[in-house]
A = this chain, B = another copy of it.
Amino acid sequence: MPTSDRTDARFSYEGLDRIIHERARLSVLTSLVSHPRGLAFPDLKRLCGLTDGNLSRHLAVLQEADLVSLEKGYEQNRPQTLCRLTPSGRARFLDYLGVLEQVVRDAAQAAGRPQNAAGHDRSGLAEPV
**Interface, chain A (partner B; CB < 8 A):** 1-4, 6-14, 16, 18, 21, 23, 26-27, 29-31, 33-40, 43, 46-50, 73, 75, 80, 82, 90, 93-94, 97, 100-101, 103-104, 106-111, 113, 126-128
Inter-chain contact B108/A104, CB cutoff 8 Å: no
Closest 4 CB pairs of A and B: A12-B49, A34-B110, A9-B49, A4-B43
Copies of this chain present: 2
Q: Which residue of B lies closest to A14 (CB)?
A: B49
- The contact of A94 among B10, B82, B103, B113, by CB within 8 Å, is B113
Chain B hits for A90, CB < 8 A: 111
A23 lies within 8 A of B21 (CB) = yes
- A115 CB to nearest B CB, Å: 10
How many whole Å from A94's CB to the nearest CB in chain B? Answer: 6
In-complex Cβ contact of A82 among B1, B8, B43 (8 A): B1
Q: A100 to B97, Cβ gap below 8 A?
A: no
